[in-house]
Amino acid sequence: MTSAAILGSGSFGTALATLLAPKLSEAVIIGRDPATAVAISKEHRNPNYLRDVTLADNIRGTTDLGEALNHPLVLFVVPTSATRAIAEELAKRGLPASTVLLSCAKGIEKATGERMSQILREVFPENPIAAISGPNHAEEIAHQLATCAVIGSDDPALAVRLQELFTLPHFRSYTSEDVAGIELGGAVKNVFAIAAGIAHGLGVGDNAVAALVTRALAEMTRLGVALGGQIETFSGLSGMGDLIVTCFSEHSRNHRVGYALGQGKTLEEAVNSLGMVAEGVPNTLSIHDAARKAGVRTPIIDAVHGILYQDKPAARAMHELLTRDPRPETDSTHS
C-alpha cells in the first residue's frame, strides 16, 4: 500500500492524509468542492478545515471519484449517510477487487441498521475490508499529538498490514478481529457525547457528568454485545477510550451540539452554529431504532432521542434519568 485515496475532504480526511503522507508516495483527497481541491493541491492547505495545517507536497486534492481506482488503499471518510451511495458509484466505475477498503466513519445506516463495513461488504464482496476507530480527534492527529487507534478486520493479516502503515512516532495502532464491536463503540459514543454536552450545558456538576458517562459505558456495552460485539472491546480504545474523549474534549462536535441544547438552543440552532457534521444527531435515530429492535434497555439513548426528536426539555430528560427506579449497578444479562 504505497499510495491512498481518501474519500472526504473534511477535517478527519485531511488529518488522515497528513498522518499517512510520510509513508506514501501520494495521498489523494477526493472531495466535492473544486475550490477546496485546488487549494489542497496548489496552496497545500484545506481552506475549510484545519486551516493552520500545512499539507505535505505529496498530498493532492481532486473532485474526480474515478481517481480512487488508481490506488491500492481507499479510505472512506465521508458522512455515514453517504457511504452506500459513494461505494455503489465506485463499484460502477470498476474498483479493482484487490483494493483495500478502510472504513473511517462512525455510525450505522438508518434504513438498515448496518455498520459501514457491512455496507462496504455488500457492495464489494471480494475486496479486503477493515475499520479504524478510537479516540482520534482530527485536530490532534493533524498536529502530531500522541494518539492511539484500533484497526479491525476479519482478516488478521490485513489488520497487521494496516497496523504497520498506521504506526508512526506519534500514532500507535492496535489490531482486533471484533469489527462489529469496534464500529458499534465508535457509533454509539456519539449519542452519549451529546448527552454529556447537554449535562455540561445544564450545569449539573462534575459528579453528575461522571456518573452519566460511566452509565453510558454500561449502556454501550449492553447494546454493543446484543448487536454482535465482544464485551471486552467496549473497555478498549473504540469503546471507553472514544467515549471519554468525545464526552469531554473541546474538539467534540457532538458534545458542542449537546452543550448548546443544554443552554436552551434549538436543535437547528445548535447544528447551524457548529458548521460541521455531528454524526451523533442523525445516528441517534438509527441507534435508537436498533436498540428497540434488539430489545435492549437504553435510558440515556432514549433521553437524547426524546430531546432531539420529541421536543422533550433537556432539564426534564435529565430529571427523569436521575429519578428512574433504583436497580443494581451491574447486570449480568447485558440486556
Annotated binding-site positions for substrate = 106, 253-254
Quote the DSSP letter at residue 47. Answer: S
Distance, in Å, from the CA atom of 308 to the CA atom of 266, rounded to the nearest integer, reads 9
Give, in order, the Cα–Cα distances in Å from 211 to each of 195, 205, 208, 302, 305.
12, 10, 5, 17, 19
Q: Could you tell me which residues are annotated as the binding site for NADPH?
A: 11-12, 32, 49, 106, 138, 253, 277, 279
CA dihedral 318, 324, 326, 327 (to 10 degrees): -90
Q: Could you tell me which residues are annotated as the binding site for sn-glycerol 3-phosphate?
A: 106, 134, 189, 242, 252-254
The DSSP code sequence of 178-200 is -HHHHHHHHHHHHHHHHHHHHHH
Element (H, E) at 59: strand 59-62
The one catalytic residue in 189, 265, 293, 312 is: 189
Q: Could you tell me which residues are annotated as the binding site?
A: 8-13, 32, 49, 106, 134, 138, 189, 242, 252-254, 277, 279
Q: Could you tell me which residues are annotated as the binding site for NAD(+)?
A: 8-13, 138, 253
Q: Which residues pair with 132 in a beta bridge?
A: 151
Here the cell at position 321 is: 434519568
- Active site (annotated) includes residue 189: yes
Quote the DSSP letter at residue 23. Answer: G
Catalytic residues: 189
